[in-house]
Amino acid sequence: MRKYLFYISQNYSFSILRPIQEVIRKEGGEVRWFFEGNAVNPNYLKGNEIRLDSVPAIFDFKPDVTLATANSIPSFLPGLKTCVFHGFDAGKKKRNGEVDHFLIRGCFDLYCTQGPSTTRVFMQRQQELGFFNVIETGWPALDPLFPLAQPAPSSKPRILFCSTFSKRLSAAPLLLSTIEEMSQRGNYQWKVQFHPKMPREVVEGYRKIQNENLEFVETDDIIPLLKEADVMLSDTSSVIFMFLIQRKPVVTFRNIAPAPYLINITNEKNIEQALEQALKPSAELMAAIEHQALELHPYKDGKSAERVIEAIDGCLSGKYPLPRNRPLNLIRNLKYRKKLGYWKL
């Protein structure tokens, strides 16, 4: 049976890749984990999960497939390099104007896309470049989200506040005092969860304002938080789309790409009014959310991980031949070799 390497650099990768691991194990395959850098918490590994602690150990393992949730990985690693994404397109751009979600860095042989809005762009790029396959599978991170269900009854509306780490886009530093004041009034039950790259001083600020109505949560799996919340408050974080797929409204603060499926505000004084609007959404808002959800992720069967394995099987069996070879990517690979301390050819 096949061997799979999960190459990760952030804690959120655990919940994205574990549904795939479950399918692999059911088929009798083997999985190993490799952590790039120091941002991954090894305590999140489960007792039956095995970590490789060096690049030579990866080559000794000889994976048939290397999966990652990042935009790039060392392309000199063995196996079919497969991207399963770390989130949805939030509209964030590089300084040169390129949309971050759609960057092609010459590292992957296969992109397993989440839904039509992602597939269209990657298919166009595939036709231009020709050295990778694009197969729409849905996003394995969302498999535990289905089947969709209404949250259990609660005495207070439950608000989940999530924020991106980007200094330019993050609402967290700006809304600290407002959220503290709202939580002390006790009209809502708050949970706060941030991107793992959020500056520690911002994290500590929210830890300090915890009370009976507000809890700060640090986790490698946001799915339970998404399920239990009634409304999300966020900014330009891609997590808003994970929430929308549940057909539940999102209030955004200064979102860079406001749209009909969002309730976007620019003044913190309007947060409570916007939350009340989200708790009693209009038919027009719900129709816009439904349309966007189908564009993002039309699958509701919780079987995206199975489709990822099917896509990998198809590539390895020669079902999807490519007209061009992947570029050598010398400069990027040299940087990875330096980072990983591995120079063997």
Helices (H), 4-145: 13-26, 55-61, 116-129
In 3-state terms the chain splits into helix, strand, coil percentages (rounded to 5) of 40, 15, 45
Angle (CA) 24-298-222 rounded to 5° is: 60
> Is the domain of 182 the same as that of 70?
no
User: How far is CA 9 from each of CA 12, 68, 112, 170, rounded to the nearest angstrom?
Assistant: 9, 9, 19, 21
- Whether residues 127 and 199 share a domain: the answer is no
C-alpha closest to that of 206 among 251, 160, 249: 160
| 196 domain residue, yes or no | yes
Q: Is 1 exposed, middle or buried (0-12, 13-18, 19+ CB in 10 A)?
A: exposed
150 assigned to some structural domain: no
Round to whole Å and give the CA distance between 312 and 109. 10
Q: Note the pLDDT tens digit of each residue in 81-120.
A: 999 999 998 876 665 656 677 889 999 999 999 999 999 9
CA 138 to chain centre: 12
Alpha-carbon distance 279 to 158, whole Å? Answer: 10
Q: Structural domain of residue 214, as residue ranges?
A: 158-296
Task: Give the tokens for residue 277.
Answer: 């609007």
Q: What is the CA radius of gyration of the chain?
A: 21
Q: Quick one: how far is CA 123 from the chain centroid?
A: 20
CA distance 9 to 56: 18
What's the confidence (pLDDT) of residue 340?
96
CA dist., res. 220 & res. 3, Å (int): 24
308 & 263 share domain: no
SS3 at position 260: coil
Spans of the chain, pLDDT less than 50: none
Split into its structural domains, the chain has a count of 2
Residue 323: other Cβ atoms inside 10 A: 8
pTM, 2 dp: 0.94
Largest pairwise CA distance in the chain: 62
Same domain, 170 and 268: yes
Q: What is the pLDDT of residues 126-138, one digit of tens each?
A: 999 999 999 999 9
What pLDDT sits at residue 153? 87
User: DSSP letters along 43-74, please?
Assistant: GGS-TT--EE-SHHHHHHH--SEEEESSS---
Question: Is 186 in the same domain as 276?
Answer: yes
Please report whether residue 112 resides in a domain.
Answer: yes
**Is residue 59 in a domain?**
yes
Other CB atoms within 10 A of residue 16 CB: 26
Let me know if residue 184 belongs to a domain. Answer: yes
187: CATH: 3.40.50.2000
Residues 121 and 228 in one domain: no
